[in-house]
Amino acid sequence: MLMDVEARTAEIWTAYGAHQLTACPDLPEIERWDWGIADTGPGIESLGNVRGLRVLDLGSGLGRHAARLAALGAEVTAVDASSTQHQRAVTRYPSTPGLRFVCADAVSHLRDAAPYDLIYSVNGLPYLDPHRLLPALANAVRPGGRLLFSALHTNSAGAGPSTAVAPRPENLRLPGTTRTHPVHMWVLTPRLWEDLLTGHGLTVRTITAIDAPQPDNAASYRLYEALRPPRAPGLPLGHPPATSLRTADHTSELREDAAQPPV
């Protein structure tokens, strides 16, 4: 069952967090925002002006992205289902103004929470069944609000996206080691993601390719930006203007503390 797949993946992320709690890597605060591959665009400008916005980070991990947005004046809730990832975050940011950490299943949180102005996820969303997640997610974005998430498109071995909405096995590498853990992800074509998002009432505004620069590394992500149509004409303040779909590719190295591209 798909719930069992999600539960096993959550267990792997708990093991990942336990490893990081033991290793205690010295990870700096985020200066340059990326969506899966370091030093690539687009960056934090994708989010627009976040000051005063109610923001949700899904699959927040260590919490560095959430902390960056809180420092810019957003009211950020950072949700992660892994108890050890949550422990890492609250240990690093015990009392940051505008930042709240929640250890919970994403769908359960989305169903109970008041709507958000902005919901984003750096590589976390594809670990959840979109048929379970997207109904709650679409309702949790307020009218006129936005959703941005990055998703694996091609893994480092060159396996491209699936043409069916089903999870597939990938490997999560523990940072600083050669060990990997098997996980399942929904690695879908842009058309499938777009159909899923529009089927739940969201309008896809941009899809941006983000590729690894190394010639022997085929890893590639896509950044999806979607809007929940407002009840009245016009967008709220703080949102950048709509741009055309399919922007240019961007490249650079992989980030250690992100969900690593499958190997």
111: alpha, beta or left, given left = phi > 0 and alpha = psi -120 to 50?
alpha
Which tens digits make up the pLDDT trace of 181-193?
A: 889 999 999 999 9
Domain boundaries, the chain: 2-24+32-234+244-251
More confident residue, 169 or 173: 169
What is the reported pLDDT for 23? 92
CA 42 centroid distance within chain: 14
Phi, psi dihedrals of residue 196, rounded to the nearest 5°: -65, -45
CA-closest candidate to residue 78, choices 94, 88, 89: 89
Class of 2-24+32-234+244-251 per CATH?
Answer: alpha beta
Which tens digits make up the pLDDT trace of 37-74?
A: 887 889 999 999 999 999 999 999 999 999 999 999 99
What is the reported pLDDT for 243? 37
With 90 as the cut, is the pLDDT of residue 178 above it?
A: no
Which tens digits make up the pLDDT trace of 140-150?
A: 999 999 999 99
Alpha helix positions (H), 150-207: 190-199
What tokens were used for 195? 């159909």
What is the reported pLDDT for 182? 87
With 70 as the cut, is the pLDDT of residue 248 above it?
A: no
Q: How far apart are alpha carbons 196 and 217 in whole angstroms?
A: 29
Percent above pLDDT 70 for the chain? 87
With 90 as the cut, is the pLDDT of residue 88 above it?
A: yes
∠ Cα 239 55 258 (to 5°): 105
With 70 as the cut, is the pLDDT of residue 249 above it?
A: no
